[in-house]
Structure 1
Amino acid sequence: MCSWTEEELRYVELGDRRRTKRLIRMVKKLAEKPSAGIPEAMESRKETKASYRFLATKDDEAQKIRQAHILQTVKRVEKSGAVLVIQDTTELDFTPHRATRGLGVLSHPAHRGLKVHTALAVSMEGTPLGVIHQKVWVRDEQEVGKRHRRYGLPTAQKESQLWLETEQAVQAQLPSEVKVVVIADREADIYDYLAQERREGMAVLIRAVQDWRVKDQGGKRLWEAIRSQPVGGEMTVEVGRRCDRWPRQARVSLRWMQMQIEPPLHRQGRQNLPAIAVSVILVEEQEPPPGEKGLVWLLLTTLKVEEITQAQQCLRWYALRWQIERYHFVLKSGCQVEKLQLSDAKSLERALAIYCIIAWRLLWLTYEGRRQPTQSCETILQREEWEALCCLVDRTEQPPAEAPSLEQAIHKIACLAGFLGRKGDGSPGVKTLWRGWRALQMVVEMYRVMRNSVPPSSDG
């Protein structure tokens, strides 16, 4: 049986079988110890030097590695027939690594690193299926302090164009029969993005930040117009964890209506541009927890929203947007990519292409256990791994004859990271799992040694 790394990289084309084998070995080793540095994960000086050589050459390989993963993501999407594609931008800060060449300025003008824009495919139920598009770039330092000059520029000359290009790339990657809802945060609240032509079966769902001028609403702008609508229903929504809040359930009210958004006043050729038909959904939390700001989301979508069930569905989908934040969190904190010490930005991008696969795998493990708890854990663990896991956690010398369920195995992995599994603890999170996963690999190594060791002979 081939490992998950071999299967995931089945379509990689590096032009050299030796480099392909090296890549698969690197992904396997780094996935076993995601938060370890390259020297620790590779375990030997020879393997470490070979890995650094791999990352230091072949400028075009980062995209080839990403594309191999994207092709597998497309296969997973095709099985579901419909998908949410969540896109967002993050920054990788390498400021402490002053010797690294080719880095660009970040949001803080004194910091240096890479910008990364990712489109993550997620099932309609919330299982991460993989990266479907990713762009890595270096921001030009000459653009620092010139934000006011970019205000009147066409979208095509701004970083905002990324939102349009990413959706176009997603559309090109996925078969036309797959239904797609692209989800984005407030940075995508751009006229050109909303107005972009889309194929049948493709829609967009974003959070609004601008108080748009709207057509045929008696001079009202977006916020005033939607607030004039009566509350059409309520529901409970899961609010994801952020640096400034704990995850929780929020009881919210919903209002919705159809509107036509007018082009911005500063836009050249405005008189020739059409108004954009959208459904608007206002989500408001009525009684937030003490000391916390109530949830208020104003959502825009090209989907038709005419009744409460449609509004609720859009809200459930948008609530999954935080998965892209968890993905970037795993990339930074779980895989520790910002601690990589490589010679230049190109080498970092090649390493990032590898770690992006590992970050998805860690996130997928978390949700797969919740989605298919009774499935055998052999879908994610090899026999030696689940045997070693059961022997350690269950304090027994003899592993069970049959593999435990996926839910049981994930709880046991989490136990290696201190998860107690009490009644009120819920399911282990991704941070607990990556710590447990690293501990499991050390347990497996010892299990192999003990199982294969030959007891000394009793003969003198």
Structure 2
Amino acid sequence: MNNWVTEELKTADLGDKRLNKRLTFIVEGLASKPDKTVPQTFEEASQAQAVYEFWSNPHVKPSQIIAAHRDATLLRIKGHSIILVIQDTTDLEFASLATRRGLGEISKQGVEGIKVHNVLSVTTDGVPLGLIKQIAWVRKKTRKGKGYEERKRKIEEKESYRWLESFRETQELVPPEMEVVTVCDREGDIFELLASPRREGAHLLIRAAQNRNVKTSTEQGEIQKLFTLLKSQEVVGEIVLDLQKTPRRKARKATIQVKYATVTLQVPSNKPPLKHNEPVEVAAILAEEINPPPKEQKVSWLLLTTLPLNNVSDAFTYLKWYSLRWLIERYHYVLKSGCKIEELQLETGERLLRALACYSIVAWRLLWLTYTSRLDPHQPATVALEEEEWQSLYVKIHNKLELPREIPTIYQCVRWIARLGGFLARKGDGEPGVMTLWRGWQRLMDYVAMWKFMVAMVNELECDKDKDIEMKKENRNKICD
């Protein structure tokens, strides 16, 4: 455990070596017991107090904590020719406390909290590699009836600018030789984002929300509505997509019919005349599920992309990439339900933002462990587990002290951890989920602590035994002399 945290935070620069060391200590503790309270995780009162003081320190910037994780993420993406970067916003809701201050409005009316926009890098086969950026802010209270004035403001003055800012920084941070595809849900359907300058190899893949005015080259410049135009296209193929479980649906395989067309998005009439606010040519892909299960809402996606779309095979690839967008939802789920960040009793928004940065690293680690074990199962357990972790796990599962000659694979160990969390591994059970692994991890940490104690005791006994033998040798030599 300690090694991965140290490696993850090795570029941390909080302006003081003691603060850097304290950050590593905190993340190590949170990673071992992420769903526990601070006093439960750090049992010594002085340690718990040190955590609270760190989160209260105005000299510690949350962005500095995320920056260290970002540096490690950028190292992990090297070696990949294409990387997906998924953007999404979530709300953190906190209970009202008489002493709590520094929170703001969120989407849920009458509730205070923090808005968080995360930018998660993912491989094209679905392994989450870490955050590229995190923007967290406290929304100011707005007066009613200001909606129209809000829409007239420049994009740089709106909250939605976070999508453009994150896209720009992603292009700057990801090495230029790599192709990077920014994936967004309907909230990211912003004309200024689609019209943003892009470096070579940087692309957008966005689910459309606005029924925009478009033109096509085959319609003599006639203006049509986006959704109407795509509906009128011929079906070019079918694909079966694996839909993952969400709060709104069960996991299932969906048969998808695909249509596509190249369109030119017209500049919305309410946009100011900026130099890059010109019509934008994109590929549009309509994906509609056929014969969905009873009582299940059918899949219907209309995607806009700046990626080249030459044939139906390209469309299938982009649909698979978009289907990986749900990984960021799982990330937010782990952050809230696994780390229980919304249950923190910290009294100010500033302290919560520093705690969020620490927990964000822990949440990514578990998500990575879950999916790397599925997609690259033959790696040795040591890619993710320390020696005492896989050894204590093996002993517990097999109920014997004899260790194997070869190190188990990461896939084997992850399923053993899941068994500790209640996974039955029956035929048809599929792969264990993130929360099952989360529960198993908590139990494993208890076994690791016991394992370390036993190893220390054995080593001490061996040391005493060696000393005893040495003393006997010395006494025998004295007698002989």
**Into which bin does the TM-score normalised by the smaller protein fall?**
over 0.9
Q: Could you tell me how far 1:169 is from its partner in structure 2? A: 1.5
Partner residue in 2 for 1:70 = 70
Deviations 1:163-218 (A, max 9, x none): 11111111122221111000000011111110001000000000001111112443
Separation in 1, partners of 2:59, 2:275 = 45
Query: Where does residue 241 of structure 1 map in the other structure?
Result: 245
Give the superposition deviation at 1:235.
Answer: 0.4
Are 2:290 and 1:305 equivalent residues in the alignment?
no
Alpha carbons of structure 1 residues 123 and 97: separation in structure 2 relative to 1, 3 Å: farther
Residues 103 and 114 in structure 1, CA contact (< 8 A), matched pair in contact too: yes
Deviates more, 1:292-301 or 1:221-230: 221-230
Identity of aligned residues (%): 41
Aligned-partner Cα distance in 2 for 1:256–1:157: 34
String of CA shifts for 1:277-301, please: whole Å, max 9, x gaps.
0000000001100111111000000
When the two structures are aligned, how many residues end up with a matched partner?
Answer: 456
Partners of 1:413 and 1:335 in 2: CA distance: 18
Q: Which moved more, 1:382-391 or 1:96-105?
A: 96-105
**Which whole-Å CA distance do the structure 2 matches of 1:200 and 1:100 have between them?**
47
Mapping 1:96-107, distance limit 5 Å:
96-107=96-107
Mapped to 2, the partners of 1:144 and 1:37 lie a distance apart of 38
Q: After TM superposition, give the deviation of residue 145 of structure 1 in Å.
A: 5.4
C-alpha distance in 1 between matches for 2:75 and 2:120: 14
Distance 1:219 1:17, change over 3 A: closer
Matches within 5 A, 1:148-167: 148-167=148-167
Give, in whole Å, the separation in 1 of the partners of 2:420 and 2:60.
39
Secondary structure in 2 matching 1:426: coil
Q: Which amino acid aligns with 1:191?
A: F
Contact 1:12 1:64 in 2 (8 A): yes
Letter matched to residue 330 of structure 1: V
Q: TM-score, normalised by structure 1?
A: 0.95
Please tell me whether residue 25 in structure 1 is matched to residue 22 in structure 2. Answer: no
Q: How does 1:206-221 map to 2 (within 5 A)?
A: 206-216=206-216, 217=219, 218-221=222-225
Q: How far 1:273 moved relative to its partner? A: 4.3
Q: Report what 2:235 is aligned to.
A: 231
Shift of residue 18, structure 1, vs aligned partner: 1.6
Q: Tell me if structure 1 keeps the 8 A contact 2:195–2:276.
A: no
Cα offset, 1:144, TM superposition: 5.5
Kindly tell me: are residues 388 and 60 of structure 1, through their superposed partners in 2, closer, same or farther at Cα, counting changes over 3 Å?
closer
CA contact (8 A) 2:2 2:28 kept: no
1:35 Cα deviation after fit: 0.8
**Root-mean-square deviation (Å):** 1.8
**TM-aligned CA deviation for residue 85 of structure 1:** 0.2
Structure 2 residue 362 is the aligned partner of structure 1 residue 358 = yes
Amino acid at match of 2:112: R
How far off its partner does 1:39 sit? Answer: 1.1
Q: Residues 295 and 16 from structure 1, CA distance in 2 versus in 1: closer, same or farther, beyond 3 angstroms?
A: same
- The residue type equivalent to 1:450 in the other structure is M
- What is the rounded CA distance, in whole Å, between the counterparts of 2:274 and 2:42 in structure 1? 58
Q: Give yes or no for contact 2:258–2:287 (8 Å, CA) kept in 1.
A: yes
How far apart, in 2, do the equivalents of 1:138 and 1:279 lie?
Answer: 36
Aligned to 2:85: 85
Preserved contact between residue 70 and residue 132 of structure 1 (Cα < 8 Å):
yes
Question: Post-superposition shift, 1:304?
Answer: 1.5
Q: SS in structure 2 opposite 1:333?
A: helix
Structure 1 residue 2: deviation in Å? 6.5
2:261 maps to 1:257: yes
Counterpart check, 1:394 vs 2:398: yes
Is the 1:59–1:346 contact (alpha carbons within 8 Å) kept by the matching residues of 2? Answer: no
* Kept after mapping to 2: 8 A contact 1:330/1:431: yes
2:286 is paired with a residue whose SS is: strand
Q: Tell me, in whole angstroms, the C-alpha distance in 2 between the residues paired with 1:398 and 1:194.
A: 59
Residue 450 and residue 86 in structure 1: after superposition, are their counterparts in 2 closer, same or farther (change >3 A)?
same
Residue 296 of structure 1 corresponds to which residue in structure 2?
Answer: 300
Structure 1 position 17, deviation (Å):
1.7
Structure 2 CA distance for aligned equivalents of residues 399 and 48 of structure 1: 36
CA 1:98/1:123 → structure 2, altered by over 3 Å: closer, same or farther?
farther
Match of 1:441 in 2: 445
Matches within 5 A, 1:268-307: 268-269=272-273, 273-307=277-311
Distance 1:270 1:263, change over 3 A: farther
Deviations 1:366-387 (A, max 9, x none): 0110122111101111111111
CA offset at residue 269 of structure 1? Answer: 3.5
- How far apart in 2 are the matches of 1:31 and 1:2? 10
**Closer, same or farther: CA 26–201 of 1 in aligned 2, 3 Å:** same
Counterpart residue number, 2:345: 341
The structure with more radius of gyration = 2
Secondary structure of the 1:401 match is coil
Amino acid at match of 1:229: Q
Aligned residue for 1:114?
114
Distance 2:25 2:139 in 1: 32
Secondary structure of 1:420 counterpart: coil
* Aligned AA (2:232): S
CA distance in 1, matches of 2:326, 2:275: 37
Q: Are residues 320 and 212 of structure 1, via their aligned partners in 2, closer, same or farther at CA, if it must alter by over 3 Å? A: same
Query: 1:81 deviation in Å?
Result: 2.9
Query: Displacement of 1:270 after TM fit?
Result: 8.7
Q: Partner amino acid for 1:113?
A: G
What's the offset of the Cα at 1:407? 0.6
* Separation in 1, partners of 2:2, 2:134: 27
Deviations 1:119-155 (A, max 9, x none): 0000111100100011010100135653233123222
Q: In 2 relative to 1, CA 337–257 (structure 1 residues): closer, same or farther, beyond 3 Å? A: same
* Deviation for aligned residue 1:415: 0.4
Write the letter of the residue equivalent to 1:120. Answer: L
Q: CA deviation at 1:271?
A: 11
Given that 1:264 and 1:270 are in contact with CA atoms closer than 8 Å, whether structure 2 keeps it comes out as: no
Distance 2:451 2:2 in 1: 21
- Local SS of the residue matching 1:338: helix
Q: Following the alignment from structure 2 to structure 1, what is the Cα–Cα distance between the partners of residues 181 and 419?
A: 37
Match of 2:468 in 1: none
- Contact kept in structure 2, 1:257 and 1:306, CA below 8 Å: no
Secondary structure of the corresponding residue to residue 180 of structure 1: strand
- Structure-to-structure mapping, 1:370-381, within 5 angstroms: 370-381=374-385
Deviates more, 1:318-327 or 1:60-69: 60-69
Structure 2 residue runs without a partner (length 5+): 465-481
User: Which residue number in structure 2 is paired with residue 95 of structure 1?
Assistant: 95
